[in-house]
Structure 1
Amino acid sequence: MQAQDKPADEANTAPDPVAEVAAEIADTIAAAESAPVADSAPTLEEALRAAELKAVEHHDAWLRAKAETENVRRRAQEDIAKAAKFATERFARDLLAVKDSLELALASDTLTVDSLRSGTEVTLKQLTAAFERAALTEINPLGEKFDPHRHQAISVIESPQEPNTVVTVLQKGYLLADRVLRPAMVVVAKATA
């Protein structure tokens, strides 16, 4: 009730924040109503055109990025296909020398046992060198413990050797970069009872 006790002049002189905001809003509305519509229209049209140009620019950039991504994917697939197709090219090139040596031996009219043996030894050296360059290593486990991951037991025989030892190698095995290409076929010693 103290507000009623104040004189009327003091209540009218204090600033009223609500009235001030209302007055500002009224002034803004009056200014907007008095301004011609034609003045604000070109700026909206210009803003719309600018937004459309930016949208077209971004769409173009997106299409280019998408096309580049597709090109990279396509080139990668082609490279993978070529790598798979020509993976053995170096090894095949090394084997050509072996084939040439064998053809020369067969084309010779004067074959003797000694010349045939020496030619076969040279050809085997060429083949072994090609295997080494291709990381193709031989498995010859004679006298070693039987390894089911690298050896294939054809039979088991009684032997004075320790049980599970390779007694005979029937066919050598081969590793290609530490991966078994062909297991060695072996005969294994069995435990005597």
Structure 2
Amino acid sequence: MSDPATLEHVAAELSALRDLFQRRLLDDKAKARLYEELYSQVELARHGLARSQLRPLFGELLLLTDRLHEVVGNPEVESVVEELEEVLRRRDVRRVPPIDVFDPRYHEAVRMETTTDSVKGQILAVLRDGYLIGDEVLRPALVVVASGMNAVEAPNGLPLEEPDRIGSSGMQPE
């Protein structure tokens, strides 16, 4: 019937085939992981490229919305501004949230004023809104900051110098 040598030979071949199958299965899983990583890197690169290409356009649209904000009382203009802002929001462009104390990551101080009732570094006025695209600053907010001898020192010890323009984290307004 069955000769032991043949059975051993079949068992050895079966064992070799099982090992080959397991190795190929592990290789396939490793390749699938590599493909997934590659696809995610390509998607990140595509997203970054699109954002870098759209960044100048968004900056120009913000200038347009600034100009339109100056026209008050015209319902048609206000409607256009709302639509423009909605288009920007859908593209992850949003205003820098209100912050009471100067933060060079989000603000550019265009003027400093000496006050008696404000904390040093406190934002006294926002002259132009700042905007973020995702987590990055698209355009810093232009602000007036409290400073001078009569101002109280900020509780966080925020160091502010007295030049005409201070900090915008290296970014200039568009």
Which residue number in structure 1 is paired with residue 38 of structure 2? 77
Which residue number in structure 2 is paired with residue 145 of structure 1? 101
Q: Any conservation in 2 of the 1:140–1:169 contact (CA below 8 Å)? A: no
Give the secondary-structure state (helix, strand or coil) at the position aligned to 2:124. strand
Work out which of the residue numbers 16, 24, 33 in structure 2 matches 1:55. 16
In structure 2, what is the Cα distance between the partners aligned to 1:81 and 1:173? 30
Unaligned runs of 5+ in 1: 1-41, 103-113
AA in 1 matched with 2:121: N
Work out which of the residue numbers 126, 133, 137 in structure 2 matches 1:169. 126
Give the secondary-structure state (helix, strand or coil) at the position aligned to 2:13. helix
AA in 2 matched with 1:69: A
Give runs of aligned pairs for residues 97-136 of structure 1, distance below 5 A.
Answer: 120-136=77-93
AA in 2 matched with 1:153: A
Q: 1:61 to 1:165 in 2, by over 3 A?
A: closer
Which residue number in structure 2 is paired with residue 111 of structure 1? none
In structure 2, what is the Cα distance between the partners aligned to 1:61 and 1:165? 66
Structure number with higher relative contact order (C-alpha < 8 Å, ≥ 6 residues apart): 2
In proportion to residue count, which structure has more helix? 1
Q: CA deviation at 1:126?
A: 0.9
- Post-superposition CA distance 1:4-31 (Å, at most 9, x none): xxxxxxxxxxxxxxxxxxxxxxxxxxxx
Which residue number in structure 2 is paired with residue 108 of structure 1? none
Q: Any conservation in 2 of the 1:164–1:191 contact (CA below 8 Å)? A: no
Q: Any conservation in 2 of the 1:166–1:188 contact (CA below 8 Å)? A: yes
**Percent of aligned pairs with the same amino acid:** 23
Q: Does 1:183 align with 2:144?
A: no
Give runs of aligned pairs for residues 25-40 of structure 1, distance below 5 A.
Answer: none
Q: 1:137 to 1:160 in 2, by over 3 A?
A: farther
AA in 1 matched with 2:39: E
- Post-superposition CA distance 1:86-134 (Å, at most 9, x none): 5869xx8xx9xxx9xx9xxxxxxxxxxx9xx665433311121223444
Q: 1:67 to 1:148 in 2, by over 3 A?
A: same
Larger Rg over CA atoms: 1
Q: CA deviation at 1:140?
A: 7.0
Unaligned runs of 5+ in 2: 65-70, 151-174
